[in-house]
Amino acid sequence: MFQLIIIISAKIQHALIRPFQTHPSKALFGLGMINCFLACGLVYIALSGSFLLGSTLESSLFMLLFGLGTFPSMFGVRFLKFIFKDSRFKTKLNYLVPLLSVLFGIWIIPRESNLSIPFISPPSSKLELKLNEP
């Protein structure tokens, strides 16, 4: 049974790799076209927020404003390639990203643990969500 799984996975892997070996630009274009159907997590959060609104018009307006709000950042990413061409910046970024990840983890774990540490983790009573009941 295990050998059958290995054989099947090898055939699938070979079928997926073959287009990249023969026509890499077409394969990357096809992969990008498939990838466009995958939304990021923020889109799913915005969609769930729009579902909670009262009407279709409000939900549509919410999603329109969300899309317009993301446009400047998507437009700005285009210009980041000029910053990343500098190898010194890449080297600094390679050290900075893990450091910021660790610092963010050190900050977020006590915050989400509800330890009531001033300025780090607010008391859970202040985090209550108050909904307007009809």
User: Does the reported pTM lie above 0.75?
Assistant: no
Residue 85 CA to residue 132 CA, distance in Å, equals 51
**Residues 57-95: tens digit of each pLDDT:** 999 999 999 989 988 887 887 777 777 777 777 788 788
Give the separation between CA 114 and CA 9, rounded to whole angstroms.
45
Q: Which residue matches tokens 């993301």?
A: 70
Spatial CB neighbours of 83, under 8 Å, sequence gap ≥ 6? 89
pLDDT tier at 131, thresholds 50, 70, 90: low
